[in-house]
Structure 1
């Protein structure tokens, strides 16, 4: 696994802070499925174990649920997020504007909607 760039690490830490500290539902979306596992492991390593209730590692259902009620779910492509709603959308900067438009409905109903872009476009 390649280590994160500083901007990407800050984005991931912010996602963890929002989920663990404020009970937000966070969706992290990367362009391809093969990028989910390394990213999941990285977020799991960054999260404080005392704040984590469960970590699901099942292929296609990766998520971390925090004691605050917040959670981080991981998606391998834009179409996999269809039907899911969240407060915070973390998306790789490799997504085009058209692809991002397809992801935005996931945060449409949230009062706390926020978009965070991952700074490392090489992660897939």
Structure 2
């Protein structure tokens, strides 16, 4: 799905609920406008740590997907959830211990298992 990097102000004007992301007012989140066939389908917000990236996809006010991805090997998903409110999904996401901490999820669903042609980092605008 093609994406365009957008400013925080643009993201918040499109989906004010993104203001409920933890720490959004301090920065650290990157925002991406998701589109297909020139039709906007949602907004993704991503925030990278030293060994992981947290991503929240908002497709409308009631379809929210959160996941933690890691670059290990080919990269993949170590945790995911969905809900109908940004605040609920974000709250669950920030409660997940970081990689290497006790009780951190460590089973990786490889991106290749999803049939994706590229890594998550590349798909969300990071370095290849």
Higher strand share: 2
**TM-based fold match above 0.5:** no
Q: Which structure has more RCO (C-alpha within 8 Å, separation ≥ 6)?
A: 1
Larger Rg: 2
